[in-house]
Amino acid sequence: MRSSKIIWSFAAGVALWLLSLGTALAQDVIALSPQTHDVSLEGRSRYWIDPGGVRTPDQMEAAGDSLPWAVRQPGATHRIDGKALWIRFEALNTAEKPWFLSLKSSGIDRVQLFYRSPEGRWVEQEAGDTKAVSDWPMRGRFPTFELSPVAGKPVPYWLRIEHERVDFATPIVIQDRSTLVASRELEQFLLGAYFGLAGLIVVVAAANAVAFRDRNFGVYAVYVALLAAGQVAYLGIGAQHLWDHWLKWNEVATFLLPGVSSAAALWFARTVTEPARFSKALDLLVWSLIAALLSAVALDTFIVSRGSFALVMVLTLLALVVVFGLIILVWTQGDDPHIRLIALGFLPVLVMAVFPIAKGMNLIPISPLTRYGLSIGAALEMPILFYALSLRGARRREAQVRAAALAHTDALTGLAHARTLLQRLDSALVRCRSLKHACALMTVKISNFESIASEFGRETADKALVVAASLLRRAITDIDLAARIGEHEFALLLEGPTSTENAISRAQQVIASGLRSSDALPPGTTLKFHVAVALLPDKDLDSPGTVKWLLDSVNAMRPDARKLIRPLNF
């Protein structure tokens, strides 16, 4: 009786062991059901690294479980320089719809997928940088393969990967057609928006550089163009759309263009922060780092080794630190009012660039931030920096504009001077005579200017002139002209067809505006305007004679005159 219990217990243990073994084996098979849309191979596949990289699918199938297979865990990285990474999994298609295997990263050297057809022959698909994208099983930025159409039974798959210089850490997923197409459409939409913005910024910045001779905009256009070119190579867009069959260039561009864009970023940071203002040694350090980074990129292009690429990554990280230091230096010691906005523009790229650099140094696995972090940062950076450079450029051009305007404007008030008034009046008189309509000219005098100067001083008197100029500028339209023609005498030319009522109304407006108090003048101080106005043309007077006629008339008015407006010919 006791022995029978022992036998039954042993049998039950064996049954439980077989059941658990069957469950474990069942878990090795990836079920692709109608409710499933995507499945990650992480934790659902096993890998082995072929040290010689020469094994064939037949040899791998024959070796079977005799090889030391290990489960590929999430975030796993593999150094496979000169080797081959084999990934093995089984999938059971119960949905009777096509499924695709996608490696979510560009720049992989070579990827091959093997499985047996129902007839027992090997089906091979190949993609990667050693093959033109147009020759891939499915064109795109990432290697993508169609799985076996066989439904109802498990199909073993063998994935072979070659990858040099950077550890392989790419996520691998199985997706149905709708999920794959939707993800690709979203990626193309977002990348199209990013590169469209970059192209627009480059064109507008270059136009500003030429139009305003602004070096900052010129360097910024070069920086954005090279940054976009680096992303074109890094994200696989160049291999897909621009240089499909240029396999050697694609291999070089993937490492060359991002490195050059890093040097351009440091050059742009130096241009906007101007470290030479603080220290020539610091400026020399920045130039030296730019030269070192470009030299390392050139060295990496010719040597093509893991060590040379690591040198580029270290110098790129150092360049980010230097850019951050330059921004902090100018923020704390500079006098640029727009430096905080420029610093805000640099911040997204400084933060997001850390992720692809860390991945290039094999410190973190591949993730959306390592793939798209720099693009996200650049998309945030570009409009902010463009706006900041526009504000800075406008501020720097203001003095140039004022200096250029001195040829035809009064330096103190900003109004046109007498010579400009005579030129415009000549044209207005010719136009009035030919079209047989009238324009108007009025001269305006600050009758209490001497009393303001004697009571409050010359500085306040100058402020009174500026206030008067501001009031006269508001009293005219876009086609009219305000000018300063004496120490405290002004003229308003109303060029459009004008009536006596309109001329008197404008004169009354000028007088009323002067009687309002101004914060720029001492409390209780107002401007008392005297106005002489005439409709033109009058007789055969030319422009100098007309101006003299009205100026003499306004100067002839008594300071205490009750009538502040003197019409001359109506």
Cα–Cα distance measured from residue 66 to residue 59, given in angstroms and rounded to the nearest whole number:
11
Cα–Cα distance measured from residue 63 to residue 73, given in angstroms and rounded to the nearest whole number:
23
pLDDT of the residue at 5:
44
Q: Which tokens hold the place of 26? A: 């069942």
Question: pLDDT band at 406, cuts 50/70/90?
Answer: low
Task: Indicate the CATH number of 418-567 among 3.30.70.270, 3.40.50.300, 3.40.50.620, 3.30.565.10.
Answer: 3.30.70.270
Element housing 99 (H / E): strand 99-103
- Three-state SS letters, 137-193: CCCCCCCEEECCCCCCCEEEEEEEEECCCCCECCCEEEEEHHHHHHHHHHHHHHHHH
Report which of 506, 558, 513 is spatially closest to residue 535, judged by C-alpha positions.
506
pLDDT of the residue at 95:
81
Q: Is 347 exposed, middle or buried (0-12, 13-18, 19+ CB in 10 A)?
A: middle
pLDDT of the residue at 131:
93
pLDDT of the residue at 14:
38
Cα–Cα distance measured from residue 456 to residue 435, given in angstroms and rounded to the nearest whole number:
49
pLDDT digit string, tens, across residues 94-107 = 887 899 999 999 99
Under CATH, which number does the domain 22-176 receive? 2.60.40.2380
pLDDT digit string, tens, across residues 458-517 = 999 999 999 999 999 999 988 899 999 999 999 999 988 899 999 999 999 999 999 998
Domain ranges in the chain are 22-176, 214-402, 418-567
pLDDT digit string, tens, across residues 260-314 = 999 999 999 999 888 888 889 999 999 999 999 999 999 999 998 899 999 999 9
- Contact yes or no for 27/58 (Cβ under 8 A): no
- What one-character DSSP code corresponds to residue 334? -
pLDDT digit string, tens, across residues 8-35 = 444 444 333 333 333 333 347 999 988 8
pLDDT of the residue at 274:
86
Cα–Cα distance measured from residue 31 to residue 452, given in angstroms and rounded to the nearest whole number:
94
Cα–Cα distance measured from residue 204 to residue 13, given in angstroms and rounded to the nearest whole number:
77
- Rg of the chain's alpha carbons, rounded to an integer? 40
Q: What integer is the mean pLDDT of 79-85?
A: 94
Report which of 374, 525, 498 is spatially closest to residue 439, judged by C-alpha positions.
498
Question: pLDDT band at 367, cuts 50/70/90?
Answer: confident
